[in-house]
Structure 1
């Protein structure tokens, strides 16, 4: 088989439901590299939230912040920060409804609320504690993604009122906020242009709503067995649950491993 590049989401894809890396997944990625394929991560997480995983898997290329910050071989090749004016509008809008925000730079993140239960509940699922308080952190800094903490029944007002931003729900109480048009697909496109891959040589594994554009964009999109039907329906392939050797099975399914 020709050389390929494979992008892996993290939560629910590389990491199982207990935020653990299955041994079968680690072995499969090692085998993928031995076969001469390139391996990268494509995640909504900030780079500082998956350093240990990159070290364990020896991966130095990634699409982070849902496509807004792309690194290849340890070198930053694309950045698409949020517009400060748009962030200011978002902040004022969210303050009206008592919905807190977290502003995410490429090295750290800060909240505009000293405490809110939705922050702790949401980011706690990522194994992260409260990011600390700085309501002006977004001013004069590159912010690649914001986290908006509001229940899903209240999200429509943001989509209707802030047309220059993209909102992607990832938790019952939280949405990722991106520049309009921002997606993992956008970041992957920048990466494969730089590396010279065609779409047919590109594979991607994902399991949730922020993976939809990615799975549609690449030549070979693979939905995890634990993905909702909305995600499975846009994928070319569907593998097993992440906890049932889903990555190893999927790589064999698409013919990258024997």
Structure 2
């Protein structure tokens, strides 16, 4: 994006974990609190009449508390209500809130991809969202990594029907091992993204945070050129490339930094607030 001074974002897309929320070192979870500087910056965006859209790999169940902590509100346009738009499950689910209403969802058959990964990592954990409750899981995930309840379910039953997203997690492996495995397998029929540790998200082909946000902008009469997006993870790459301005958090991995238009400070220095104040300060 050019640095034209006349450009002002009309929609701000914000990742949650590592962008709005800090990681608890070594615990695989986040502090479920929003720093005051980040909260205030988000409300300057809202007060200016721009939209704020959360875009995360989290399930809808794990995102509504963050929307409520931020006191998000929608913008009234052409008679539309003031419920917020939220992009969940790495773009496979788009919903309005409150109350939670799914308005767009893409599903796929994940059985062959899951089987291929488990052939190489037979002890890996598998999870599929159980909307409004939590997740159905093959084994319990480490504490704090999934929101809501965990319901033990056989792997075959987890993926016997269409799903919007599958999580595969191996606490004994590394992110680098999963990156190499995903590239080796090709995972035909799915998109994949490797997280901050040995965590693999499988989604339908063509689905990403960018595709979910495009559904939102289409409904709001906006385009990608109106969007400022901020994120830190590999699942933010398509979003940062798609947006009019894509900004990586300071602690992001190099793959994310390489595609960003700019890099702000780290989440520990409230980098999201610093970037927002550049446009809405």
TM-score normalised by the chain length of structure 1: 0.85
Structure 1 stretch displaced more, 209-218 or 179-188: 179-188
For residues 23-172 of structure 1, what are the structure 2 equivalents within 5 Å?
23-59=36-72, 60-72=84-96, 74-83=100-109, 87-96=110-119, 97-98=121-122, 99-107=124-132, 108-113=134-139, 115=140, 119-120=141-142, 124=143, 126=145, 128=147, 131-135=150-154, 136-140=157-161, 143-150=163-170, 151=173, 152-153=176-177, 156-159=180-183, 160=185, 162-172=187-197
* Aligned position for 1:223: 248
Q: Which stretches in structure 1 are left out of the alignment for 5+ residues?
A: none
Structure 1: distance between partners of 2:111 and 2:23: 35
Change (3 A) 1:206 1:3: closer
Change (3 A) 1:138 1:219: same
- How far is the alpha carbon of 1:154 from its aligned partner? 5.2
- What is the CA deviation profile of residues 174-209 of structure 1, one whole-angstrom value per residue up to 9, with x for unaligned ones? 111111222111111111011111222111110111
> What do you get for the CA RMSD once the two structures are aligned?
2.3
| Structure 2 SS opposite 1:193 | helix
1:6 to 3, 6, 12: 12
- Pairs aligned (count): 245
Q: Which stretches in structure 2 are left out of the alignment for 5+ residues?
A: 1-6, 25-30, 73-83
Change (3 A) 1:193 1:95: same
Change (3 A) 1:47 1:229: same
- How far is the alpha carbon of 1:47 from its aligned partner? 0.8
TM-score normalised by the chain length of structure 2: 0.79
Structure 1 stretch displaced more, 151-160 or 34-43: 151-160
